[in-house]
A and B are shown apart, each in its own frame.
Chain A
Amino acid sequence: MGAKKSNQNVVKFNRWGYIFLIPFFVTYIIFSFIPLCSTIYNSFFENYRSGLKQIGPNFIGINNYINLLGSPEIWKYLVNTLIMWIGGFIPQIVIALLLAYWFSDPSLRLKGQRFFKTVIYMPNLIMASAFSMLFFALFADSGPINQILMNIGVISEPFKFFQYVASSRILVMFMNFLMWFGNTTILLMAGMLGIDSSLYEAAQVDGATASQIFFKITMPILRPIFIYVLITSLIGGLQMFDVPQILTNGRGNPTDSLTTVIMLLNRYLTSKDVGRGGALSVFLFIVTGILSLIVFRMNSSEDNK
């Protein structure tokens, strides 16, 4: 009898928990779940505007998907996106790990930590679009970077950064790196500070070297945070849009090599093409899901060893 009563109390108590979750679920359903379902629904229709005239919606089955996946561009844009993400992510994670390690190592006694922690986060506070407009002006044919390089005699003619695939992609990678390494540093640092310092002390007593401590203690314990950083960055990277969009004025040139998948979505907007746009969004959703799963599996299977 008594046990039943306390059980009921727990249920009653739990009820408040559910009630306080309502705001999240209501906003989630309105702003995420319904749009998600309608995107999937719309992807099966021909539905766009020709000038001011509405065409459709006409049900066309999976034609949007066939056209999308059958065209070579989408794969090209996916590769573009991945190249620019990886190119920005590798330096980002290396520098962030190094900085986080330094910041969280008490034996280094770094001065002005707070100052540097603020400074490295700053590029992230600037809007991506403002940031890429700044870079566009800096690296223009007659911009300051070319002027400086010419004045110190490195080059004699202006180097046209935006006319070569490699240089313009490197600029995008560099911008993404600059914008996000501070954020990653702070996440990794939070993880490192959570590691019990007695582990380090024990290792030092045992005579472990600094690199042994890093690879045998810090990294394994940091893994959950590391996976989190990797997956969020992957999702963010696949949705890369604002930097290349503003840098190339939506054209993705040279030769469409800076066009990301979401930039293609933006191009469909000229004719308000909900059908093709929906199919593209669903495709990106699935790709993101698969890649995240692979990353997740890779890391958790090592755990079981």
Chain B
Amino acid sequence: MKKKVLGLLLSTTMVAGMLTACGSTASNAPASTETPAAETPAADTAAESPAADTAAEAPAADVSADEGKVLNISAWNEEFKSRLTDHYPGYEVVDGTTGKIGDVTVNWLITPNEENAYQNRLDELLLAQDGAAADDKVDLFLVEADYAVKYTDTDYTLSVTDLGLTANDMKDQYKYTQDVVTDSNGVIKGTSWQGCPGVMIYNRAIAEEVFGSQEPEDIQAHFSDWNKFVESAAELKKAGYNVISSTADTFRVYQNNAELPWVNGTQIQVDDNLKKWVEDSKALADAGYCGTHGQWTDDWTKGFYPEGKVFAYFGPAWLIDFSMAKDVEGSIAHDGGWAATEGPQGFYWGGTWICAAAGTDNAGLVADIMKKMTCDPEIMKDIVLKDNDFVNNRTVMEELANDPSYSNEVLGGQNPLKMFCAGADNIDMANLTAYDQGLLGDYQTAMGDYINGNYATYDEALEQFYTLALQRYPELTR
């Protein structure tokens, strides 16, 4: 009998233990991410907040006191975080993933872009938005042009006008930055602090050695169209330099000058200019003028240092400032060894847009962040002066473009802003679709194999592109 009782006891404990183990992890998980909200009375906030000190516009006052105490921001890298830390009045750093604005805790949800991880997480968060506790809701998230439509053309993002940004606030923004986040009904669903016109960034030392001059006007003459580009590449090759690091470098230039959007209805279409990229790239690679590795690999970033022997990169302001290793001793950027010129064709690359998530419990604060970071000329000018970013404010940029005291250290003291301003006015974003990111990635994968000689013909590679695209997007047709 005793044995029976003991056995029963043991087995119940075991089964019960097993079940409670399941239960407790489930109930603990969400709690662990919470941060205790500070209990400062709301009145103090307005008084203490350094935002009030700037006395510029109506600041902390319109961040209403009965809003949520946790602001969740979803991003894929540290760029916006550092912009907010450095330029948003009253932002305090708590630790690597949290900050504070007044008594609101800012919670950074940073997921890298690789393998679509950022969007996968954001999708889950947005779809769960209705059922989530107020402090767990995403309040603000960042998107890129390549997939902005996927989010802006839904009810998951709020209209910036509803948040309180007026047309007057946004009058100085570049038109294209608004086009990117305008939904199919013409409503603006996001805003950006930066513009991303691209230029050709070349190595001054190599220019001096091969072309006998490092002045942008002289170099531009050697690279004013794609034929001249190839001729100059041959000269560079003779001297032992690669004209660009990889064939991937020029992809954005050709892609932005395409006339057709990637998708028409549900049908995938490939613009002739993309085919031209493939042909030109194959010629470059076959002649040994550049490599064929992907961007952001070690092989690619090697050109940021003198021993990489790369003449030029194509990129916008953020590439110069954020990616070219300017803080690393011995890099070309560190010594101001780059210069910028327009290159064969204008283009844009990247850019980050801020969207407000529907269901946010911090609408006031979100609107204030948008207003300060993307419409306030003082703050935006600060961003240019401190970070050399190209900000989304025509007045500020044109003023700085004509300001002889402004210079970019990475570019050896050159003021490239005139070039950027001209580029920003010409950007046309009419061709965006929700599928751009996946399709242009798949196209480059398939064509990379053709350029490397693994496919005999362009058509074979195109076939592979369609295969990959249809695996990714079942709703599309060819």
Chain A residues packing against B (C-beta within 8 Å): 16, 19-20, 22-23, 26-27, 48-53, 55, 71, 73, 137, 140-143, 160, 163-165, 249-251, 253-256, 264, 267-273, 276
Contacts and interface: CB of A to CB of B under 8 A. Distances in A.
Interface string B422-447: 00000000000010001000000100
B475 A141 contact: no
Nearest to B472: A270
B127 interface: yes
A273 B154 CA distance: 20
Given A140-B299, A253-B449, A49 B123 contact: yes
A276 B474 contact: yes
Contact of A250 (B11, B115, B293): B115
A142 B123 contact: no
20 contacts: A16-B11, A20-B11, A20-B14, A22-B14, A51-B150, A52-B123, A52-B150, A55-B475, A73-B471, A140-B299, A141-B291, A143-B298, A163-B292, A250-B115, A253-B448, A253-B449, A256-B464, A267-B472, A270-B473, A271-B474
Contact of A163 (B114, B438, B454, B455): B454
Contacts of B377: none
Interface residues of B, number: 41
Nearest to B473: A271
A289 B472 CA distance: 28
A52 B126 contact: yes
B404 to A, nearest CB: 41
Contacts of B293: 140-141
Nearest to B441: A251
Contact of A271 (B15, B151, B472): B472
Contacts of B445: 251, 253
Contact of B455 (A19, A251, A255, A276): A255
CB-based closest 4 A-B pairs: A51-B150, A19-B11, A254-B454, A163-B452
A177 to B, nearest CB: 25
Interface string B457-478: 0000000100110011111000
Interface in B283-311: 291-294, 297-299, 302
A163 B452 CA distance: 7
A164 B454 CA distance: 8
Nearest to A246: B115
Contacts of B254: none
A51 B7 contact: no
B116 interface: yes
